[in-house]
Chain A
Amino acid sequence: MLIVGYFFLFPIFRLVYVSFMSNEHTFTFSNFETAFKDPYRTGFLNSIKIGIFSAAIAAIPGAVAAYFIETRGSSKLRRTIAVMSGVLANTGGIPLAFMFYAALGIQGKLTQFIKFLGWDIYAGQFSLGSFVGLLIVYLYFQLPLMVIVFSPAIVSLRKEWSEAARNLGANQFNYWMRIGIPLLFPSFIASFLLLFASGFSAYATANALTVGNLPLTPLQIGGLLDGNVSASQLNLGKALGVVMIVISALAVIPYLVIQRRSARWQKL
């Protein structure tokens, strides 16, 4: 048992260990210095921004959708949505890029439809590879992800609580203000954090859409690992990777902590 248990820890530990080795191997912090200067600095800022914004626009619709699905949907509907969300949340890269080119690209069906209604979305600076464009595309997998991550919180809102509240004189508004929202809030924030991490780290989709025009950290790292990798490139890549891990950890670890704490009343 122990051998088997140990076995799978191995790759992970090696990885974490080695990522930190980037410090020693370069003898200086020069790689980290480079990492914080342009263009990498912009890359980080953009990635963080994309993480925050894509999470923000998916969070509330996702939460609301999850609420209605879990509280009013039939068992079959809920299961189907769960599966579909699972598939959709993992959609990315080329297939996703294709779908959006087909719909919202310059020749896209939806673009044409909207043009017909009087609005040319390409009149200005818009393109799918721009920041706004990416946000729209990211929504495609962020929204299902929100539904998946937030649904358990909705499910654990016991019917008894809303009934007891009504019985004690609370109308819907009161219930939500005093009971519903306070209970859901931590999970909501936690889900938001996870969505941030997802948007921040997305590689395949960004790669397919921006073709190098938008500085994003995942893409920059990808660039460094492309082709024949030189030592200095690799070290810079390591540095960038470490920073990515730190930023991601700053989001995901609070997420995990919040989930643990919420589990207390969710299991009640």
Chain B
Amino acid sequence: MTSKNLSLNGIFKQFGNVRALDNFNLEVGVGELVALLGPSGCGKTTALRVVAGLEHQDSGKVLVGNQDISNIPAHKRNMGMVFQAYSLFPNLTVEENVAFGLQMRKISKPLRLKKAHQLLDLVGLDSQSKRFTHQLSGGQQQRVALARALAFEPEILLLDEPLSALDAQVRVNLREEIRRLQLSLGTTTLFVTHDQEEAMAISDRVGVMNQGVLEQIDTPDILYNKPASSFVAGFVGTMNKIPAFINDGFVEIFGEKVVALKQGNETGKVLALIRPEAIKVSTTGSKFNAKVLTRSFMGASSNVICQTSDGTIVQSLMTSAATGDLHPGSEVQLQILSKEVLVTNV
């Protein structure tokens, strides 16, 4: 079964007074891995469940391969889903779990067990095939869940925060494994998470959602460097928000004039959005404009948090070597390294 593309058109979904999805539109190309990223309650899980058929949209359409599946019940949609946790059937062994989708499609027992073992092998758990859920660790359970979702070669793969319940190290390893599998099988995938690092690390494109609306969807690079709104800017990576004043298309940051990139018609008082790596902290020079509050050593680089004379907190990312002699209270000069900054309304 080859993978297909996925479209959501004009989806509205309301729960009581809360609008979970507000005119939500999304296109996922064949074989693409798109992540939906956002804080709790932004609607990303709802969107996923609408695609899966576990929630029914109030209005709007879901198309797979350009075919309208909006009214097809969940169990007839050809999609594999991995839940956050606890989704393996406790009364079935690992291999029976993985073979379940095939069993529902009336594949004979020898054939479906063979396929189950194939997939368990792919995730490295063939040795556990006769065990039960409660005998496996969290990471192992999710790998079984992944195998189960892929066993019947679904057109679309859906992942609902599959790594959120796992330990940090397991999370990193497993997300790479998911990406590998997805690429080798070429399955169109929709991946929901609130962890921006995770989304950025493995996705072809990332869609940032906020309160039922898709704010921006782009490749990780563009998302990081050209955030379309201050919400996106603040959510993806760390972002400094420095008060400034627009004058004639320019703002003054730490004494230097830089081009102000407007998103709309910002005038007057604005916030300049600057990444920590675009700010330099130095002890040389004559004009000290800030004091160091803390320095966090993170290996090759260090995070230096300073406070300017007007009280603004500024975070800078520098190499540890360059910041070795900085400590709380040191007087420093902050400089901006880029020639242009994004601005947004206060």
Q: Which of A167, A179, A265 contacts B80 (CB 8 A)?
A: A167
- Assuming the contacts A163-B54, A164-B81, A168-B104, asked whether A265 and B90 have C-beta atoms less than 8 A apart, the reply is yes
Interface residues of B in 184-214 (CB under 8 A from A): none
Q: Can you pick out 18 interface pairs between chain A and chain B where the beta carbons lie within 8 Å of each other?
A: A158-B87, A161-B89, A164-B81, A164-B83, A166-B53, A166-B73, A167-B53, A167-B77, A167-B81, A168-B80, A169-B101, A169-B104, A169-B105, A178-B92, A178-B100, A179-B89, A179-B91, A183-B90
Q: Bound complex: CA of A264 vs CA of B132, how far in Å?
A: 11
Q: CB distance B152 to A169 under 8 Å?
A: yes
Q: CB distance B104 to A174 under 8 Å?
A: yes
Which residues of chain B are within 8 angstroms of A166 by Cβ–Cβ distance?
53-54, 73-75
Q: CB distance A168 to B152 under 8 Å?
A: yes
- B240 CB to closest chain A CB (Å) equals 41
Which residues of chain A are within 8 angstroms of B231 by Cβ–Cβ distance?
none
Interface residues of A in 224-268 (CB under 8 A from B): 264-265, 268
Question: Which B residue's beta carbon lies closest to that of A172?
Answer: B75
Which residues of chain B are within 8 angstroms of A171 by Cβ–Cβ distance?
73, 75
Which residues of chain A are within 8 angstroms of B83 by Cβ–Cβ distance?
160, 163-164
Q: Bound complex: CA of A160 vs CA of B90, how far in Å?
A: 12
Q: Which of B75, B79, B92 contacts A170 (CB 8 A)?
A: B75
Q: CB distance B86 to A158 under 8 Å?
A: yes
The bracket for how many chain B residues form the interface is: 20 to 34
Q: CB distance A268 to B90 under 8 Å?
A: yes
Q: Does B342 contact A (CB under 8 A)?
A: no
Interface centre among A158, A165, A167 (most CB of B within 10 A): A167
Q: Which of B52, B54, B81, B87 contacts A161 (CB 8 A)?
A: B87
Q: Does B148 contact A (CB under 8 A)?
A: yes
Count, chain A residues at interface, CB 8 A: 20
Which residues of chain A are within 8 angstroms of B70 by Cβ–Cβ distance?
none
Q: Bound complex: CA of A16 vs CA of B53, how far in Å?
A: 58
Q: CB distance A268 to B133 under 8 Å?
A: yes
Q: Bound complex: CA of A179 vs CA of B74, how far in Å?
A: 17
- B111 CB to closest chain A CB (Å) equals 16
Which residues of chain B are within 8 angstroms of A174 by Cβ–Cβ distance?
104
- A170 CB to closest chain B CB (Å) equals 5
Q: CB distance B89 to A164 under 8 Å?
A: yes
Q: CB distance A167 to B54 under 8 Å?
A: yes
Interface residues of B in 52-81 (CB under 8 A from A): 52-54, 73-77, 79-81
Q: Does B134 contact A (CB under 8 A)?
A: yes
Question: Which A residue's beta carbon lies closest to that of B85?
Answer: A160
Q: Bound complex: CA of A76 vs CA of B159, how far in Å?
A: 33
- A165 CB to closest chain B CB (Å) equals 8
